[in-house]
Amino acid sequence: MSIFDRIFAASAVKTAMVERENALPGRDTLMPLREKNLVTGQSMRGEPDAAGGFGPTGTGDWGPDLESVVLAGGCFWGVEEIFWQQPGVYTTAVGYAGGYTPNPTYEEVCTAQTGHTESVLVVFDPDQTSLKHLIEVFFTSHDPTQEMRQGNDVGTQYRSAVYGFDDEATRLAVETAERYGPTLGAAGYGPITTEVLSLAEAGDGHFYYAEDVHQQYLFTNPNGYRCHVSTGLTFPA
């Protein structure tokens, strides 16, 4: 087999979604996580529930004044950096969503055998910003037409996704994609491939926090890798 055949074969495996029954087994233990976001100074987990856990989706209670969404647009280092800079964002955290392996490690996700996306939890104050605005920022800060990749980052972990916490978030994400699609098409891009689901319906329904070394990575490593494969296109008025 030539080197080109090997590269093609490896890429084919990385871009094929693993079946649930074939996913890596994972573990029951939650990933250790520092308490505070290094940029915002706020909690990354929220408050535990009455049983001391973090709810059916893996995130805590943010109280009645905050809302949240999980966004996946390629390497989560750069995506998190974009959103912690947005006015009205309370906190962010990177993790894994849309897959089947419980509490995966970064190395496991990179095998494409967990089914997860590299995702960012964005918690925001709806009195200072809106989910509509944040989803528009999301679509314009990556290329939502690149299925199972962003630029040279190839694999199921890099697929584009919006995972909302309620039906309204899902509806809004679908409407936003439909509104942005013609702009992309007119510029020669293909259809939007973004996966839009409620988090509860995505994979096993969990957001799993990534290792501390990945949290706010570009704050502690300001010259680190960024993958912003933006189309450069804005939303229609």
Give residue-wise pLDDT tens across range 31-72. 999 999 999 999 999 998 777 778 889 998 999 999 999 999
- Residue 154's pLDDT is 96
Domain ranges of the chain: 35-220
pLDDT at residue number 11: 52
pTM of the complete model: 0.94
Catalytic choice (18, 23, 75, 109): 75
pLDDT band at 199 (very low <50, low <70, confident <90, very high): very high
DSSP 8-state code for residue 210: P
Question: Is 75 designated active site?
Answer: yes
> To the nearest whole number, what is the mean pLDDT of the chain?
93
Which CATH code, of 2.40.160.20, 3.40.50.300, 1.10.520.10, 3.30.1060.10, is assigned to 35-220? 3.30.1060.10
Could you give the residue ranges of the DSSP H alpha helices within the chain?
3-14, 76-84, 106-109, 131-140, 167-186, 217-220
CA distances from 5 to 10, 11, 73, 150, 153 (A): 9, 10, 28, 22, 18
| CA 143 from centroid of its chain's CA atoms | 14
Tell me the pLDDT band of 209, cut-offs 50, 70 and 90.
very high
